[in-house]
Amino acid sequence: MLLQVRGLTAGYGGAAIIEDIDLDLAENEISVIIGPNGAGKSTLLKTIFALTKTLGGSIRFRDREITGLKTDQLVPLGISAVPQSRNVFPSLTVAENLDVGTYAHPPADKVAVRARILELFPDLRDKLNQPAGELSGGQRQMVAMGRALMSEPSLLLLDEPTAGLSPAYLEKIFDLLLNIRANGVTILMVEQNAKQALRIADTAHVLVNGRNFVSGTGAQLLQDDEVRRSFLGGVAP
Amino acid sequence: MSELVGFINLYLIPGLTIGSVYALGAVGISMIFGILRFAHFAHGDLMTIGGYGVLTAVWLLPLHPLLLLPFGIALAIVSALAVDRFFYQPLRQLPTIYTVIASFGVALIFRSLTQLFWSSGNQVFIPGVRPPVILFDTFRFSALHAQVIVLTIIIAILLHLFLSRSQMGRSMRAVADEPELAAVAGLDTEKVVRWTWIIGASLAAIAGVFAGMDTSMHPNLGWNLLLPMFAAAILGGIGKPMGAMAGGLIIGLAEELATYPWIGSDPFISPSYKSAVAFTIMVVLLIFRPQGLFKGRLL
């Protein structure tokens, strides 16, 4: 197991938002967390990345206890994250945004890593000297993912990577996720576009009211009547 | 011709000199605001401390004050890091108004300590009258003014290279841009804060020495310069160091040029009202262009 979450309880100011969460993530899989608004999906991601206070339970990464470590200690271990909004440094150029991604954990060959990332996101090639704040939402998402990948993580946490994007970009981002996985990166993401996300997901977890509701493979959940009725708008896959 | 020469000797060069002092002080104010998000009212007194650091070094070592700048810089850095550790850092999670008020307190502490250690009188770096430098038989200016302007230009270039090229400079801009994302990217925010103080205090110390050498050292030196420095930081767009640099030069020039006899033979504005110029610029800016003259964020 790459990531093993057991009995995780977390929240703000002592009040639990997620309670007793269990989650397993195998190497090289894409896993999606879905659920209604306010179910604690983002909080779960933030807790794994030490941005929310853990109140109980444990998180293990590559069989190492990482509960209580700080974010800047997690990046060198191989975990990166992309927040949902405000995910680029707007006044820094695209090249500088990517560069900042290497500071917490400098890769052995920065030039090679950057070349590989520009291969993944060819759209960014002619925007390198442009401030990231001038880019479109979809391009910003690429800069944000590129920045997170610059530290060569083995686990990438994504909080709603397609939020606010046009349908055309949505497809593009999902294709990119498959490419990123093909580069050996495991992905754990929160996604509102549950149907599309489940199609590319190996495993999926439904969260309701801060608790595990059901988990399974993407295909299983797409077939699950209750999941379909409650979270996929009741339509057939 | 002689009028132009007089304009350069008596207005332009002194304006750029005082502008350089404002610029170096305003950079720190602007960067601290950009990264720590509070108006640092003790910044003027940090300048004073830097000035006294060099003054003390001058008493002990028979060297030119500008060669002894590292002593003043070191004293200002230690003072800034100490007050950040003991006064500002414990307040970091609270609304920034607590830190602003704390910085007023720190300003009083700094000023009282300088009075205690160095007395409240005026003291000079180099006693005696210094002859002016005469260039091509026409330009007459003090050597200090030339040194101040040249050093400030060099500092501005180095600061720009630091912010745009170095890892720490880019980290500082990243934290100023999006502090939460900077944390997500795994940047060490406290290290960035320490470097902000180191750079802000260094430039403040240099500005304090320049100001003290131009007139004399006294415990109110920096406090008296706080208003034009804030005006410069706002003019440049608060949070933008290079903007603050430009803002400082503009305010300094405006103050001096306002006393030039533009109409008739009397000064346009009486020199005793010079300091009102910075105040007026600040008020006008806050009403019409509170984001400052320049676009962009920290550069």
Cross-sheet strand order for the sheet of A3-12: A15-25, A3-12, A53-61, A64-65
Share of chain B above pLDDT 70, in %: 98
Interatomic CA distance for residues B67 and A56, integer angstroms? 58
Residues from chain B contacting residue A104 (CB–CB below 8 Å):
185-188
**Helix (H/G/I), strand (E/B), else coil: B243:** helix
Beta bridge partners of A82: A158
Interatomic CA distance for residues B102 and B40, integer angstroms? 9
- Is B191 exposed, middle or buried, given 0-12, 13-18 or 19+ CB atoms closer than 10 A? middle
Q: Is the pLDDT of residue B226 over 90?
A: yes
Sign of torsion over alpha carbons A184, A186, A190, A192:
positive
Q: Is the pLDDT of residue B292 over 80?
A: no
| Closest Cβ opposite residue A83 in set B184, B188, B298 | B184
- Encode pLDDT of B235-273 as tens digits: 888 878 888 999 999 999 888 888 877 777 777 777 778
Report, in angstroms and rounded to the nearest whole number, the Rg of chain B calculated over CA atoms: 19
ipTM: 0.89
- Which residue in A51, A70, A82, A89 has the most chain B C-beta atoms within 10 A of its own C-beta, making it the best mutation to test that interface? A89
- Encode pLDDT of A9-50 as tens digits: 998 877 889 889 899 999 999 999 988 888 889 999 999 999
- Encode pLDDT of A211-222 as tens digits: 887 788 877 877
* Mean pLDDT computed over B111-130: 86
Residue B268 amino acid letter: F
- Please judge whether A49 and B184 are an interchain contact, meaning their C-beta atoms are less than 8 angstroms apart: yes
Does A53 contact B at CB distance below 8 Å? Answer: no
- Encode pLDDT of B11-60 as tens digits: 888 899 999 999 999 999 999 999 998 999 999 999 999 999 999 999 99
> DSSP secondary-structure letter at B217?
B
Yes or no: say if A203 and A218 are a contact pair by the CB < 8 Å rule.
yes
Q: Is the pLDDT of residue B118 over 70?
A: yes
Structure tokens belonging to residue B67: 């060669």
**Helix (H/G/I), strand (E/B), else coil: A54:** strand
- Please judge whether B186 and A72 are an interchain contact, meaning their C-beta atoms are less than 8 angstroms apart: yes
Position with higher pLDDT, A6 vs B294: A6
CA distances from residue A35 to A32, A178, A190, B243 in whole angstroms, order as listed: 10, 22, 9, 47
pLDDT at A234: 52
Share of chain A above pLDDT 90, in %: 61
* Mean pLDDT computed over B124-132: 78
- Encode pLDDT of B31-40 as tens digits: 999 999 899 9
- Which residue in A53, A66, A73, A91 has the most chain B C-beta atoms within 10 A of its own C-beta, making it the best mutation to test that interface? A91
Yes or no: say if B140 and B133 are a contact pair by the CB < 8 Å rule.
yes
Interatomic CA distance for residues A162 and A197, integer angstroms? 10
Count CA atoms within 13 Å of residue A206 on its CB side. 23
pLDDT at B297: 47
The H-assigned helical ranges of B84-140 are 96-118
Which pTM does this prediction carry? 0.88
Does A42 contact B at CB distance below 8 Å? Answer: no
The residue of chain B nearest to residue A77, with distances taken between CA atoms, is B186
pLDDT at A233: 63
What is chain B's mean pLDDT, rounded? 89
Position with higher pLDDT, B265 vs A60: A60
